[in-house]
Structure 1
Amino acid sequence: GAQPYHLGRVTVVFNGEIYNHRELRERLTGLGFHFEDQCDGSILPALYLTYGDRFAEHLDGMYSVAVMDLRSTPRMVLATDDSGMKPLYYHWEQATGRFHFASELPALLGFAGVRAEEDEAGLDAYLTSKTPFGDRTMFRGVQVMPPAATAVLSHRDGLRVKQRPMAHERGLRPDKDRTLDEAGDQLRALLFEEVSRLLVADAPVAAVTSGGLDSSLVTALAAEALRAGGGLGSLHTFNIAYTGTWPSDERAYAAEVARAAGTRHHQVEIDPATFPDLMTDVVRHLGQPNADPITLSTFSLFRAVRDAGFKVALTGDAADELFSGYSRMTQAVAAHHGSDWIDDYLDHLAAVPRSLRESLYTDEYAFSVNAVGSSLPADIRRILHSSPGTRLQRIGAVEQRYRLPAYHLRRVDHLSMASSVEVRLPFCQPSVVRFASTLTDAQRLVPGQGVKRALYRSARGLIPRSVLERPKQPFTLPVTAMLAPGQGLWTLARDVLSPRTLRADGRIRPERVEALFDEQATRPSDTVSLALWSLMSHQLWRQEFFATAGATAGAPLTLHTPARVLQEAAA
């Protein structure tokens, strides 16, 4: 639309998609407002004038919104969606009253008033949870709005950030009278409704099909919805794989799902030899390190989606967090009473396990980390230890409030928008999130019997049994196999993590990293490969965003930012 949107002395800009804008436009028209177009964002000024700071409670969509209200005392109101699908980064100087915000870190750092300074403790936060959780980033003084948050900024009161209850926190209780079959049927009908809504767009819509349950179910429902609606042509689906023979190749399963759903399938293949060059692009678009190797595949996949002519793509992201699909959840639930299950669970979230992490740090850095305290938000341990609900419900609350937005959704958003592809996430729709909160623990997972039980039940008869009955595997890059002598990633890692570079950084022991390389070369493992990958990604981030990776952590450094992003920020 024609942003910024103006209505009197109220001005709004936003990023994302408002799915219920037609219903809201009709309601607001009935209240006397007039709209010149059908753009989803054009209803936002009227919505704010009607409901004030609580306007976001009426939105169904993925968004970050900024409202400037100059009717009397100047004030700004910002809001993020319930799941944190659309990020909003900001820099607030209370002493000077200067406030900057943007939807991506490179754009925010492009402002002259925002200095790029590395948070020295950020390395520990990154290695502890694969990317910083909560409102922190890897840059000192730069924060990110939490999901379901509304912030109000004024000269008198400064900046006040308040979190609204997320969809799963709104008092819904598990329905113990509903059978697993009934839960599966209701979930299938609900997902069909939401997928059908998300297919409505001004540009062609495709689907990403990894070959696992979540994306396969979204694919099958989307194909069914298009047929039921008499849509022209068939659904286009995309899968990514790697040149050569590698473990965990899912292309055959994705192709089988596509055949069963009757889609036009696109098999994207990337050469691992290109990964070293890709990593620089990925680090730049993410703005800060994310330890999941799938970032390379995600970036390449959405570039292929764009090149095929698609601007919108449906994915199966967030199902594991909502419906309890991770092995760490099963292990935590199965742990006997009195065990240290909380520390074990938190260690599963880490890029580098605690014991290995502590052995990597120099004495000086270990001292500074201990002085700062835990790199995780303090609320996480409180939720896991003493908040209401079962152990599985408490884990789900942590996953949805902290891990999902920070580690998962921001990665998907930045790497899809790098190619101007809008990713739509049926599992993040508020109705689906609310429904998930009404499932009993036994309808989510039972140790020894399976995970995501209600979701699997909803997919019966819709996707091939070979997909439903195969062992669960993560959709990720086979980094353990690829980070080996003779491979491009190995050469890059050896160069980026050279003893000279690590000594200049001063936080990681070069001799311990050399020992990791020796171990990976002789006895490759997921733990060691992910540790090396994570350290390499961190150093590449420093090289990309600061003048030199060897500069002192926390010192003012020169930012390397593409001119295009700087121009967008200035605009």
Structure 2
Amino acid sequence: MCGINGIIALQPIESMPRLIKNMNQQLSRRGPDDDSIWINTESTMGMGMRRLAIVDADFAKQPWHEKDFCLCFNGEIYNYQALRQTLMDLGYQFSTKSDTEVLAKAYLHWGTSCFEYLEGMFAIAIIDFKLNRLFLARDINGEKPLYYFINHQFVIWSSELKGLLTSLEVLNKERVSISPEALNWYFRLGFIPAPLSIYQSILKVMPAQYLSIDLSTLQVSTVDFWKMPEYTPHCNHHEALLILDRLIQGSVQQQICTNHASGLLLSGGIDSSILAYWFKEMNPSISCFSLQTQANKQDESFAAQKIAQYLGLKHEIIPLDFAQVQKQLSETLCYFDEPYADSSAIASDTVHQWVKNDIKLMYGGDGADEVFGGYQRYLMPFWAEKIRRYIPLLKSISHLPLHQLPDSAQVNTFLKFFEKIGSNPSEDIWNISQMGMRNSMLNRLLLPHWQYQPNTLQRLFQTFPQDNPLTLARLWDKQVALEGDMLVKTDRMSMRASIEYRTPFLSKSLWEFSQKLPNSLLIQKGTTKYVLKAYHSTLFPESFQQGKKQGFEVPIASWLSTSLKKELLMLTCVDFLKKQGIFNASKMSEQVRFFLQKPHRYKFQLWSIYCFQKWYDSVRN
């Protein structure tokens, strides 16, 4: 795991070495083990690398040079040993045992087609001197970030915004501006999905895609090197369990690394329990970590402890202490470099900060819900269809003051569902995927020049199969929520602690296998993730089969209405908002106070406002 960056310009840049070094410095937490740069003799090209050494730590330094190209990459190629053997059979010789050299030889042999052969998480930059092109590629899930800026004079890329901005502020002379489209999507989703960033002129490479940039003209073209196979169900229950067993074992075996102290984020749910089972078989020295919050009596730390004891694995329960959280909250939120409102990042950060002196590799069950249909929101079209016939009646009573209902979990769940019912299953999925503010509210709270009807993601949504709501929802989550939310959290919070984070459920083979499963094996009679739960039952006794999963929740509603309330009100007071020039000051200030009357019902909206204002106050000013 590392941080990469680079600059290519049409004219020499005298300060190129200093710019690359400064970009490297911004990425120091991503790679504390090595700091390297490469500059061409004309000072028109530069690449930088901060390395967290995992594979072949003593060699394979980057940037890596071959006769006709130079490359840097962040991440891990899990199938590099198999590729290495394939390339050796083709006559290639190797001087290291690293995945970096395998990637270099793979590019030498297959060119950009080599990306199709890679199983792993990666962000790759290759300058091909012979073709006079720059290639920027990103793995199929978007686990590793890659930002870029390009104009008619130069292109800059980096693993994090902070690295890119360091050089852009010097070369561009103009301050970057906030993107109205990204701003609107942030308040709808709580995060900013690719290809957007919070800044209008800076973009992200999309998952499973590479950019090809002509170094004579800086013209860009994009190529998809992998696409999800079409939904072609043909597995029965018995076949599915056999294949699942083989693929999960294979993915864990590929990703396992016994050369460094490793940890498993054990939530107590079935996903991490399955991983724990196979780690017991393949790496029994692994340590398991769970989070416990005093404010949440339904945390899963005790269930996780039961699993660890059954398997004989080391287990540690980490307390979520708000006093400690508050000390680091600003640094935690600002490490994302752009607004980000998934409160589970606090839990992730707490765990990684706790273990950072002892652990270099962390594993988690992330992605299993997207791959195998685990979210309750995937049931939305099924629930909605049962009551859609009553929509005219519901609309006739929609004038009732529903906001006056009690601020309870049951009522809030009902209201969330009620508000998202559309006219058809496709519309249900579109609505339920956006848990933040609706367009009507945003148009009321934002000043006119910040109002924007987002269309980038609507076009993407329409490319997915509209006649299969479950596949539609899963593909949407893979391309948008997984890349923009879940994997942003795991990457940034692990990298803040200089820890590599791996996700065995996000293998290419498991994604492709999931498209062969009938919907009835993903969701059956209201049971989500059905086939994975059935597989779990083959590994653990019946007493370990659990009810509703709680997850790593943090009590943000309580915090926002108590300890953080004063700061939230300060960040949304009329004077602050007027100087900011983004919101209708009086309406936003009033809306926040309204939300605070029922903080549990409106915790997502409150938290997204708080996180945006914290970002703006600390980064922009």
Partner residue of 2:354? 304
Q: How far does the alpha carbon of each residue in 1:393-412 deviate from its partner, in whole angstroms, 9 at most, with x for none?
A: 12211111222111111221
**What SS does the corresponding residue of 1:249 show, helix, strand or coil?**
coil
Partner residue of 2:473? 395
Partner residue of 1:213? 270
TM-fit CA distance, 1:272: 0.9
Q: Quick check: 1:16 aligned with 2:75?
A: yes
Among 85, 90, 100, the residue aligned to 1:31: 90
Which residues of structure 2 form unaligned runs of 5+?
1-59, 389-421
Partner residue of 1:123? 183
Among 456, 463, 466, the residue aligned to 1:383: 463
Among 363, 371, 387, the residue aligned to 1:322: 371
Q: Structure 1 length normalisation: TM-score?
A: 0.86
TM-fit CA distance, 1:191: 0.9
Q: 2 CA distance for matches of 1:10 and 1:216?
A: 44
Q: How far does the alpha carbon of each residue in 1:439-473 deviate from its partner, in whole angstroms, 9 at most, with x for none?
A: 11111113x53100001011014346455321133
Are the counterparts in 2 of residues 12 and 44 from structure 1 also a CA contact under 8 Å?
no
Q: How far does the alpha carbon of each residue in 1:255-294 deviate from its partner, in whole angstroms, 9 at most, with x for none?
A: 1121122111111113112333322212232111222111
**What SS does the corresponding residue of 2:171 show, helix, strand or coil?**
coil
Q: 1 CA distance for matches of 2:340 and 2:569?
A: 19
Are the counterparts in 1 of residues 348 and 493 from structure 2 also a CA contact under 8 Å?
yes
Partner residue of 2:556? 479
TM-fit CA distance, 1:174: 1.2
Matching of residues 417-436 of structure 1 within 5 Å: 417-436=495-514
Q: Quick check: 1:137 aligned with 2:212?
A: no
Amino acid at match of 2:546: E
Matching of residues 22-171 of structure 1 within 5 Å: 22-71=81-130, 73-93=131-151, 95-96=152-153, 98-111=154-167, 112-113=170-171, 115-154=175-214, 155-156=216-217, 158-166=219-227, 169-171=228-230
Amino acid at match of 2:223: K
Among 603, 608, 613, the residue aligned to 1:534: 608
Q: 1 CA distance for matches of 2:241 and 2:283?
A: 22
Q: Are residues 478 and 348 of structure 1, via their aligned partners in 2, closer, same or farther at CA, if it must alter by over 3 Å?
A: farther
RMSD of aligned alpha carbons? 2.3
Q: Which stretch of the first structure deviates more once superposed, 293-302 or 28-37?
A: 28-37
Are the counterparts in 2 of residues 207 and 314 from structure 1 also a CA contact under 8 Å?
yes
Q: Are residues 357 and 415 of structure 1, via their aligned partners in 2, closer, same or farther at CA, if it must alter by over 3 Å?
A: farther
Are the counterparts in 1 of residues 269 and 546 from structure 2 also a CA contact under 8 Å?
no
Partner residue of 2:336? 286
Q: 2 CA distance for matches of 1:420 and 1:280?
A: 18
Q: 2 CA distance for matches of 1:153 and 1:369?
A: 33
Q: Which stretch of the first structure deviates more once superposed, 284-293 or 314-323?
A: 284-293
Q: Are residues 157 and 353 of structure 1, via their aligned partners in 2, closer, same or farther at CA, if it must alter by over 3 Å?
A: closer
Which structure would you say has the larger RCO, counting Cα contacts within 8 Å and 6 or more residues apart?
1
**What SS does the corresponding residue of 1:377 show, helix, strand or coil?**
helix
Matching of residues 153-552 of structure 1 within 5 Å: 153-154=213-214, 155-156=216-217, 158-166=219-227, 169-171=228-230, 173-176=232-235, 178-179=236-237, 181-226=238-283, 234-242=285-293, 244-307=294-357, 309-336=358-385, 339-354=423-438, 357-358=441-442, 360-362=444-446, 364-365=447-448, 368-370=450-452, 373-374=453-454, 376-383=456-463, 387=465, 390-446=468-524, 448-463=525-540, 465=542, 468-485=545-562, 488-526=563-601, 528-547=602-621
TM-fit CA distance, 1:375: 5.2
Are the counterparts in 2 of residues 283 and 544 from structure 1 also a CA contact under 8 Å?
no
Q: How far does the alpha carbon of each residue in 1:177-226 deviate from its partner, in whole angstroms, 9 at most, with x for none?
A: x12x4423431332122112211353122110112221222122211333
Q: Are residues 356 and 482 of structure 1, via their aligned partners in 2, closer, same or farther at CA, if it must alter by over 3 Å?
A: farther
Q: 2 CA distance for matches of 1:376 and 1:263?
A: 46
Q: How far does the alpha carbon of each residue in 1:294-345 deviate from its partner, in whole angstroms, 9 at most, with x for none?
A: 11111121122212x1111110001111111112110124432882444443
Q: How far does the alpha carbon of each residue in 1:95-150 deviate from its partner, in whole angstroms, 9 at most, with x for none?
A: 22x11101111111111236543223332110112212230110121000110001
Q: Are residues 18 and 455 of structure 1, via their aligned partners in 2, closer, same or farther at CA, if it must alter by over 3 Å?
A: same
TM-fit CA distance, 1:26: 2.0
Partner residue of 2:35? none
Are the counterparts in 1 of residues 442 and 451 from structure 2 also a CA contact under 8 Å?
no
Are the counterparts in 1 of residues 116 and 226 from structure 2 also a CA contact under 8 Å?
no
Q: How far does the alpha carbon of each residue in 1:24-73 deviate from its partner, in whole angstroms, 9 at most, with x for none?
A: 222222333222110111122221111112111111111111111112x4
Q: Which stretch of the first structure deviates more once superposed, 311-320 or 463-472?
A: 463-472
Q: How far does the alpha carbon of each residue in 1:507-529 deviate from its partner, in whole angstroms, 9 at most, with x for none?
A: 33444444455445543323x11
**What SS does the corresponding residue of 1:335 show, helix, strand or coil?**
helix
**What SS does the corresponding residue of 2:143 show, helix, strand or coil?**
coil
**What SS does the corresponding residue of 1:401 show, helix, strand or coil?**
helix
TM-fit CA distance, 1:160: 1.1
Partner residue of 1:555? none
Partner residue of 2:4? none
Are the counterparts in 1 of residues 299 and 552 from structure 2 also a CA contact under 8 Å?
no
Q: Which stretch of the first structure deviates more once superposed, 101-110 or 455-464?
A: 455-464
Q: 1 CA distance for matches of 2:373 and 2:582?
A: 36
Are the counterparts in 2 of residues 275 and 489 from structure 1 also a CA contact under 8 Å?
no
Amino acid at match of 1:496: L
Q: 1 CA distance for matches of 2:89 and 2:574?
A: 68
Are the counterparts in 2 of residues 217 and 459 from structure 1 also a CA contact under 8 Å?
yes
Q: Are residues 349 and 511 of structure 1, via their aligned partners in 2, closer, same or farther at CA, if it must alter by over 3 Å?
A: farther
Are the counterparts in 2 of residues 347 and 353 from structure 1 also a CA contact under 8 Å?
no
Are the counterparts in 1 of residues 288 and 315 from structure 2 also a CA contact under 8 Å?
yes
Q: Which stretch of the first structure deviates more once superposed, 218-227 or 206-215?
A: 218-227
Are the counterparts in 2 of residues 247 and 481 from structure 1 also a CA contact under 8 Å?
no
Amino acid at match of 2:123: S
Over the matched positions of the two proteins, sequence identity in percent amounts to: 23
Are the counterparts in 2 of residues 316 and 426 from structure 1 also a CA contact under 8 Å?
yes
Q: 2 CA distance for matches of 1:482 and 1:388?
A: 40
Which residues of structure 1 form unaligned runs of 5+?
228-233, 548-571
Q: 1 CA distance for matches of 2:482 and 2:382?
A: 20
Q: 1 CA distance for matches of 2:155 and 2:69?
A: 18
Are the counterparts in 1 of residues 305 and 315 from structure 2 also a CA contact under 8 Å?
yes
Amino acid at match of 2:379: T
Q: Structure 2 length normalisation: TM-score?
A: 0.79
**What SS does the corresponding residue of 1:52 show, helix, strand or coil?**
helix
